[in-house]
Amino acid sequence: MKESINNYEDLLEMLDALLREPAPFWNEFYTDRDKGVPFFSNKPDENLVSYFEKEWLRPGKVLELGCGPGRNALYFSELTCEVDAVDLSETSLKWATERAKEKGADIRFIQKNIFDLEIGEGSYDIVYDSGCFHHIAPHRKMSYIDLVSKALKPGGHFAITCFIEGGALGGADLSDWDVYRKRSLMGGLGFTEEKLRTIFKDFKELEIRKMNAAAPSSNVFGVNGLWTALFKKNK
């Protein structure tokens, strides 16, 4: 029955329909590769590199959510991780696939909405998200947490970078209800440290800190305005 709400999924889809459809926006976003978007540079996040340098993370099976043109997926792959990298944008994955081919990297790129993934329980050692979660609407937050939790093995790690509320990159200061009043995520939701702790309370917090800015000459990516956080799934 069209436009009838008979189950929880129907309700989520109705709420999705109040907001911008993501795929056309992101496909257009990646059409001009020279437009000077900082994360278009092919460098891994400085926090991600630091987790491996400190041996908080070790190579294993990785699921990347919203991988874009693949800069972090490539880094995982260089470290001998087995990588499944998901994004709903065809244009981003075209770029990511080209980058992987240039490096001879064997990465499984999956063009899907993360909520349409079929994932076996406990399939991954690491789930990574750089800049996807802050584009996820509040009504999908519970599904997102369930997805991360289901994907991870017991003791597996989840790491995320997301906008600081009112930070250098915007980071909209909106209540969850405001998103539906405005019918917009206003360029991406901002978070406080407390909000992140509350959302990911079922995981063990290993580190929450601001991303360190990196010089353009650096071989890592780092900008002001982002939180970086590393959590562990309980055994």
Least distance in angstroms from the C-beta of 96 to ligand SAM = 9
Q: Is 26 in the site for ligand SAM (CB under 6 A)?
A: yes
Could you give the 3-state DSSP secondary structure of residue 214? coil
In the complex, residue closest to ligand SAM by CB: 68
Contacting ligand SAM (CB under 6 A), which of 130, 149, 157, 164?
Answer: 130
Q: Is 86 in the site for ligand SAM (CB under 6 A)?
A: yes
* Separation between Cα atoms, residue 82 and residue 60, nearest integer Å: 6
First to last CA, the chain: 43
Contact 74, 100 (CB under 8 A): yes
Least distance in angstroms from the C-beta of 232 to ligand SAM = 21
Contacting ligand SAM (CB under 6 A), which of 74, 81, 114, 137?
Answer: 114
Among candidate residues 189, 12, 18, the one with its CA nearest the CA of residue 115? 12
With CB under 6 A as the contact rule, which of the stretches 99-107, 130-138, 166-174, 227-235 interacts with ligand SAM? 130-138
Q: Is 222 in the site for ligand SAM (CB under 6 A)?
A: no
Least distance in angstroms from the C-beta of 1 to ligand SAM = 25
**Other residues' Cβ atoms within 10 Å of the Cβ of residue 107:** 24
* Separation between Cα atoms, residue 190 and residue 122, nearest integer Å: 29
* Separation between Cα atoms, residue 200 and residue 92, nearest integer Å: 28
**Interface ranges with ligand SAM (CB under 6 A):** 22, 26, 39, 66-69, 71, 86-89, 92, 113-114, 130-132, 135
